Structure 1
Amino acid sequence: MAETVVSFVSNRLATLLQEEGSLLGGLRQEVQLIKDELGHMKAFLKVAEAKEDDDPRLQEWIKQVREAAYDIEDVLDEFVLGFAGYRHHGFCGSLQRILKAIKSLPARHQVSSEIQSIKSRIKNISELRRRYQDEFGIDHRVTGSSTMNDSRRYSRDDALLVEEAKLVGIDQPKQHLISKLLKGHDHQLKVISVVGMAGLGKTTLVKKVHEDPEVRKNFPVRAWVTVSQTCDFPKLLRDLIRQLNKDLDKSVPQSMESMTTAGLKEFVKDFLRRAGRYAIVFDDVWDMEFWNEIKFALPEGNYGNRVMLTTRNADVAASCTESQDCVYRMKPLSNEDSWTLFCNKIFKGNRCPAHLMDVAKAVLDKCDGLPLAILAIGGLLASKDVSRIDEWEMIQHSLGGKLERVKRILSLSYNDLPSHLKPCLLYLTIYPEDYPINCQMLILLWIAERFVEWREGMSIEDAAWAYLRELINRSLIQVTEAFYEGTPHTCRIHDLLREVILIKSREQNMVTVTTGQPMTCPSEEKVRRLAIHSSSNILRSKLLKVLELGGEEIEETPNEIFNLLHLTYLSLYGTKVARVPRAIGKLQHLEYLHLGDTRVRELPVEILKLLKLRYLIVFQRVDPSDDSYGFHGFKGPSKLGGLLALQVLRTIDASSGSVIVKEIGKLTQLRELYITQLRREDGKELCSSLVNLTSLRQLSVASVGKGDDYEIIDLNHHQHSLSSSSSCSFLQSLRVLIMYGRLETMPVWTTHLQNLVKIVMNWSGLRAEEDPLESLQHLPNLDEISFCGSYQGERLCFKAGGFLKLKRLWLRRMEGLRWMTVEEGACPNLRKLVLEQLPSLEDLPSAIQHLSHLQELYLYEMSSRLIEKVENQKEDSEDYRRMAHIPEIVIGFSADDGEWRIRRLWGNEKKTFLA
């Protein structure tokens, strides 16, 4: 960690000497000396940090280096704030420079004094470095563990969603718990508790049970709620309400946010009473009083309702009188299962090499059958060269203790991280316990904090994603939800690991966490980053670089923000802010500005001063309950093309005409472009601009209007065709295409989108002779299709050999569609099929039986004839045989009383509940 800080500060000093050297004056020599000494320290730190746990003197020396580097960073920020960046020309410019110099004399003296003080500290630290280097016999030219050619290592599984701990030793306890869930139909509510220490896999086991098809079949209403140590009970109830509404694709009641705790309990109870048989999981319960609070929101009924709890504390399970004999105490893995998990992690299921057998068994023995420990140490060993038994033996001899042994194992995994990954992992302590971490936001924060290093041939974002994947592969971060192609969407860290890195973070003054209560910091300790949980109070400092105000109840941007001249990251997402002041132009270091789900509709011309801005996100949903209508955007200044660093532009309002569309073509670094209010006559100009965007990965285009009244999107032009050879880079880079608006024909260039993984077409209204499937069927990487009001024809035919990688398909609001044909060999990997508001469709897709991998079929507001066919099937009928392989079929419809109902079918069973 200290090495990372020193490296960052050293690079900043080099930049300062190069770009602002003339402003340093007599300080230049002092700054150069500090930079050189930091360079010597960096080489030694790499080895010293690996040995610091063995010697308190090294720990203290590393702390001194880290704090000195932090102080240098602060002085640099103060200097830049006061002096750098002023470029004046001519007579007036000279006069301004003189006046500036006179005004800044006291400040310059202060900076000079601080630099002299730091220089003295650096000299003393360097003397200690030379002494320790001789005393410990450390050669700073040796950089630690060897890095052998990848071909000499066992390759590691890059799949992000593999939950390895559930692959071994889980079948027997899983079946035991399922039998407890399904046994009997007691009128009394039954609670099944799973108890065990952190890291045993309680959550993994219960999740496997909760998702089992037999459980899903018997409990049509299910929910999963994470409780955690600091339980916010009203928030927990709201989360439960959201989950209970999720399957219905309906928004939750707006009144929910203002409900009292008693009101929320009553709402949940009323919902569940009408819904039918339910199974709810409360994961990670700490407080014995929790059950006494939550049980009053859970009706007993006469359906045999079930609740499952996971907890570290056996007293919590005992406090639930409804548990009776239903407490399952998890045990460590058997030696056989531990070995299987160990080998799966390190050798991908292959046998352990004979020369490593003894040391491998010795290491595994110290894990005590704890899956978390096995995966953590396995992730560490998987990065080692299998030909180097000495590397394995070194790790073996570093292990000790029992529960502390597990933490030591996790600490070893942390210590073994490359220096660039350590601050990234420690940074996760800014999030509360069990918080679902948005991966996209996380990597942007890493970038804003300057944790991510540029890599040749990669964008800074791609490098950050690579960091995240490495932490995932080392089992230090767990993916909880993924986008298409397995790209992680949300992630978490294990509770035990969080305890470990909280200690590391405090030791290294990386992040200070508080719950918002009054806090006094020791005078000798400077707070570098402050995470305030459960409070809207914000610590503001003129050197602040990252400010996240998402979800705060504010209607105006606080004026204090515009004094934070070092700010690189500013998020006002989800606030009620409607105006961006002209003072935004003062934040010239800003790289990320998020105004999503705000009321902002226009940005001032001063936004053009933010030449470092890479992410500009401003939008609001047209209809909060239905994303098919797209988003409102913002009107920007006419010279928007001057923001050459922009990589994400979402969502720009093009109603002002072709000028803004032409400016987009100057933003050659764009990776994501969302444009709305496009006029038909501007389609030609947009095509010309898109040809220049050779790095574009996501494109969303919405025309003027809404729904059936959308204007035509015209993206076919012979002279500026995107299918021409000159646009090859654009066509190869695009991965997501979204269109809101009418189409006369499918754009001819869509057939060339070889790397497209997702396409959304809303309200295209294509005529029968313009079948959209023709253009898309042979795209080799297409994973997801969503059509809403996209086609006026009567038939859609998925032809044999087409859509080979398609996994998810949504077809909605196409009133003329009467037949769907799926030829054998088409869509062989389809997992999810959603049919909604297709009133003329009176039968399921022909040959649906050939969709052998189909897991979920959703039928929302479909014709009564089709629903009758699906519901009234008999086991010996042809319709039954066509559908028998689909594990879950869901029917949604509006009843005569105005209520929305969901009906789930498994075989010939039906379960209905209200929403």
Structure 2
Amino acid sequence: MALVVDAVAEIVISNLLGSVTSLLKDKVDLILNAKDEIKKLLRKLERLQKALKEVDRKPFFSNERDKDLEGELKDAFYDAQDIIQEYLTIIELSKRDKGSMSSWNKVRKPWITLCSCFKEHVSASYQLGNEVRRINEKLDEIEKNIKTMDFVNTTPKESSGEGPMGGVRDNPRETTHHIGTVQPHLGRADDKEKVKELLFDGSIESSVLGKRGVSIVSIVGQGGIGKTTLAKMIFKETEEQFGKRRWWVCVSKKPNRTDLLQKILKVVCKGSERELEGVTSLSDLCTRLQSELSKSRFLLVLDDIWELSWWGGEVEDTLRGGAKESKILITSRYIEVSQGIGAKMHKLPEMTFEESWSLFLDVALKEENELASHNLKDIGERIVDKCGGLPLVVQTVGSLMRTKRMTEDAWNSVEKSGIWEWSMPAASSSSSQYGDILPGLMLSYDDLPASLKSCFVYCCIYPKDYQIERDLLAMQWVAHGLIEEKKGMDVEVTANQCIDDLINRCMIEETEEGDVKLHDTLHDLASYIGRKEYSHASPTEHTRHLSLLDIDDAEMPMHNVSLVANKLRTLFCASLPSEHFTNIKWLRVLSLEECEMDELPNSIECLSLLKYLNLSYSDMKRLPSSIDRLWNLQTLDLSYSKIEEVPEEIGKLCNLRYLGLEGTEELKFVAEGLGKLTNLRTLKRFLLCNDKEDRRGCNIKELKDLNNLTGKLSIEGLGGARKEINLGKAQLLKEKHLLTGLKFDFEEQHDDKVADASEQSCMLDALEPPHCLKSLKN
């Protein structure tokens, strides 16, 4: 089957089979009338899964009819998964709320009472049967089309265990060898010196600048040639000249003037952002930025400029009017951009073959003599020659070859792959939309395991140059079922291994801050592959994942959300009207980061399949009591929000694994209930609270059963827990062997009184922290 469907087959079908099997195990009235259709669906899925395991894959680039069938098949899988998981959730909520299904059956109330979002006066059992029947009929029709199109190649797979382009072998060095943007490309020393000469050549400067104080230099070259990496090398090496007045700003593809100036100003005024509140007009932004830039000389890097609609007028005058001897370094794919700005240009050439070969050997962890002894040197040289002297391609292909067996068959399968011959039609709309996608990068994508393919493509939901927080990306993958569950290993660990694997293969980059991002050309590749399902601002009928991040006018795209609401599985936005919550019930991931809402509507309960909810940096003050209906929720991130209370209903979210509370300065009360969340893996802040009116506050004893916590944990308000801790040996921390750091705050809530050293020592002894800690602070 074609490649994209193969990735779906490995993940979605497996997840769907698990859901269907679980549903059949529940002996409740809800599924009695649907059981035959559910069993029929199970047999279809098992047959399809077996067929996919026994056939060869088609090439990466399928014809349009195949792609249409792929889309239909994925739609059927997604719809079935939505329906089955919805009913599984109904059953679990019924068991929790009624104590058992038997008591619920005796009540004989319409199933609508379980959740106000479901259609009134409809029998759940019959509706489930009808919905699964429609799915079966749709799959029957697709199967007929597949047979007529020979969509599934019936040729058995080779039994050698090798992938489509040769075998994968374990390499013990691979797990510790990271090739990221922080490692300079080989062979760019001459280019670095030439750019530095342009930056600091005073004779050219005086003739070009006239009365203006800022000189501009550009690095120009095609995608993947190393512009950004070269700029980073220069950025690091100019600390002596500019000190802390060095700033780096990524420019989006079509920047809004005001937004870009705000972005630059935030970087320039980092640490005093609150002073910028209210500075929103173009004129005010220019005035404030001019004031900052004129203080002393600086280096400003504007990375990845595509066009110049934002340049000129006030913006140009502001950036050029800084202190004397200041520099602006830009990178762009286009000579016209450099000429339009009036920059001194360095056109970055392709690497020579010798430079490419040296980089390839370094990344692939091979020695030239080693390749020659296996008769692979000539093949390797032909592969490097096809990389076209582009460092990004050499890196990704070198990482690919690091995983291959040292056999001629394995290396020939890469060198002779038909993917090298592909090029996007110049006249197609995709050509301008997705930039310069390079065959060598597609080759590396093609070699990824199915789970990593899906994880890589998912990253395109973020805008270009966006720095993605590693832990949250991992939890989003988990929410979508992209991470295989391994016995004896937390899914978070597996997800982080997937991130490491993609870094090792040079498919994503690790930043110096520990976040991850996609190179812009790899972002083009991921967007091209996921173009039907992933959308920024302009959803279509096929959109399953929608991002409104970095959209200048989010109002217009919000009008289109309702058109695809019944399909969406991911939504990133800064605001969401309450009426939309009732229409997006299939969401697994919802990010409202930085939203201005102070409270979620009760209709949040309609999102019964939601697994990831990000409210960080938002104005959110309260959570509704209906939050407890989010049975499937795994991640709730309230970090740096204005949340004031954590309600007791949180204690009913038994699947919660990540609760982000760090930086919540307004948080004054956490209700009793956290102790029930025994699946929690991440809880960086545990706040002990006094009772509030008729509500019990979070107490120290709730730590007892939270033995799956990992990483660092801060326990605050210990001063008010003296009696509870000192009533014998509490030993509340002894079994928390996965923690790496503990911090204790011995103040009492709403009181500046701090326990003395003797009391602190006694409490620590009673709590008995684990011996495995790397840090212990109080």
Counterpart of 1:33?
40
Deviation at 1:370, TM superposition (A): 1.0
- The match for 1:241 is 265
Q: What amino acid maps onto 1:96 in structure 2?
A: V
- CA drift of 1:101 comes to 9.6
Mapped contact 1:359–1:393 kept (Cα < 8 A)? no
- The answer on 1:676 being equivalent to 2:716 is yes
TM-superposition CA deviations, 1:649-687 (whole Å, max 9, x none): 343322439981122112121224332111172665796
The one-letter amino acid of 1:331's match is P
- Is the contact between residue 502 and residue 508 of structure 2 (CA under 8 Å) also seen in structure 1? yes
Residue in structure 1 matching 2:51, options 28, 44, 49: 44
| CA shift for structure 1 position 479 | 0.9
Instruction: State the SS of the aligned residue for 2:364.
Output: helix
- What is the root-mean-square deviation in Å for CA atoms of aligned residues? 3.6
How high is the sequence identity, in percent, across the aligned residues? 24
Asked if residue 116 in structure 1 is aligned to residue 123 in structure 2, the reply is no
Aligned residue for 1:420, secondary structure, equals helix
CA distance in 1, matches of 2:157, 2:27: 32
Contact 1:592 1:613 in 2 (8 A): yes
- TM-score of the superposed pair, with normalisation by structure 1: 0.71
TM-score, normalised by the number of residues in structure 2: 0.82
Separation of aligned partners in 2, 1:126 and 1:58: 13
CA distance in 1, matches of 2:521, 2:489: 34
Q: Are the structure 2 counterparts of residues 534 and 465 from structure 1 closer, same or farther at C-alpha, using a change threshold of 3 Å?
A: same
SS at match of 1:598: coil
Once the two structures are TM-superposed, the CA of residue 286 in structure 1 deviates from its matched residue by 1.6
Q: Does 1:271 align with 2:292?
A: yes
Distance 1:288 1:301, change over 3 A: closer
Q: Name the counterpart of 1:398.
A: 418
Give the drift of 1:369. Answer: 0.5
Distance change in 2, residues 1:90/1:190 (3 Å): closer
Taking the TM superposition and a 5 Å limit, the aligned residue runs for 1:110-509 are 110-126=127-143, 136-139=153-156, 145=163, 150=169, 155-156=173-174, 158-160=176-178, 162-163=180-181, 166-184=184-202, 186=206, 188=212, 189-213=214-238, 216-217=240-241, 221-246=245-270, 250-274=271-295, 276-292=296-312, 294-298=315-319, 300=321, 303-321=324-342, 323=343, 326-348=344-366, 351=369, 353-354=371-372, 355-401=375-421, 404=424, 406-482=437-513, 489-507=514-532
- 1:2 aligns with 8
CA distance, structure 2, for counterparts of residue 644 and residue 433 of structure 1? 37
In 2, Cα distance between the equivalents of 1:230 and 1:719?
56
C-alpha displacement at 1:491, in angstroms? 1.4
> What is residue 96 of structure 1 aligned with on the other side?
107
Amino acid at match of 1:699: L
Looking at structure 2, the residues matched to 107 and 327 of structure 1 have their Cα atoms a distance apart, in angstroms, of 68
Closer, same or farther: CA 528–269 of 1 in aligned 2, 3 Å = same
1:667 paired with 2:673, answer: no
Report the equivalent of 1:870: none
- Say which SS state the counterpart of residue 94 (structure 2) adopts: coil
Residues 194-239 of structure 1: CA deviation (Å, up to 9, x unaligned)? 11111111011011011115x5335662211111203143333333
Q: Judge conservation of contact 1:61–1:125 (CA < 8 Å) in 2.
A: yes
Larger radius of gyration: 1
Would the alpha carbon gap of residues 406 and 165 (structure 1) be closer, same or farther in structure 2, given more than 3 Å must change? farther
Question: May I ask how many residue pairs the two structures share in their alignment?
Answer: 709
Task: Give the AA of the match of 1:636.
Answer: V
Structure 2: how far apart are the matches of 1:659 and 1:478? 40
The alpha-carbon distance between structure 1 residues 310 and 420, as it changes in their structure 2 partners (threshold 3 A), is same
- CA distance, structure 2, for counterparts of residue 377 and residue 296 of structure 1: 44
Alignment of 1:357-756 (within 5 A): 357-401=377-421, 404=424, 406-482=437-513, 489-507=514-532, 511-512=545-546, 515=551, 516=554, 517-518=556-557, 527-529=567-569, 531=571, 540=581, 541-620=584-663, 622=665, 633-656=667-690, 660-671=699-710, 672-679=712-719, 681=722, 684=726, 688-704=731-747, 710-712=754-756, 714=759, 716-717=761-762, 720=765, 730-732=770-772, 734-739=773-778
Q: For residues 496 and 656 of structure 1, do their structure 2 counterparts lie closer, same or farther at Cα, with a shift above 3 Å needed?
A: same
Measured in 2, the distance between the counterparts of 1:444 and 1:736 equals: 25
Deviation at 1:9, TM superposition (A): 1.1
The one-letter code of the counterpart of 2:339 is: A
Gaps of 5+ in 1: 483-488, 623-631, 740-915
Partner of 2:694: none
SS in 1 for 2:645: coil
- Once the 2 structures are TM-superposed, how far is the Cα of residue 128 of structure 1 from its aligned partner? 6.0
Q: Once the 2 structures are TM-superposed, how far is the Cα of residue 69 of structure 1 from its aligned partner? A: 0.8
**Contact residue 31 and residue 128 of structure 2 kept, 8 A:** no
Q: 1:295 to 1:58 in 2, by over 3 A?
A: closer
3-state SS in 2 of match to 1:573: coil
Contact 1:192–1:309 (CA<8 Å) still a contact in 2?
A: yes
After superposition, the Cα gap between the structure-2 partners of 1:411 and 1:688, relative to the gap in structure 1 and judged at 3 Å, is: same
When you count helix as a share of all residues, which structure comes out higher?
Answer: 2
Compared with structure 1, are the counterparts of its residues 395 and 204 closer, same or farther at alpha carbon in structure 2 (3 Å cutoff)?
Answer: same
Cα distance in 2 for partners of 1:314, 1:633 equals 52
Q: Structure 1, residues 124-148: CA drift from partner, whole Å, max 9, x if none?
A: 4446667778984422685652997
Deviation per CA, 1:355-400: give whole Å up to 9, x if none: 1122212222221101111122222222211225345434533233
Q: 1:273 to 1:660 in 2, by over 3 A?
A: same
Question: Which position in structure 2 is the counterpart of 1:793?
Answer: none
Structure 2 unaligned blocks of 5 or more: 1-6, 114-119, 425-435, 534-541, 692-696
CA distance in 2, matches of 1:735, 1:114: 53
Q: Could you say which residue in structure 1 is the equivalent of 2:539?
A: none
Letter in 2 for 1:261: L
Residues 582-604 of structure 1: per-residue CA shift (max 9 Å, x gap): 22222222222222223333333
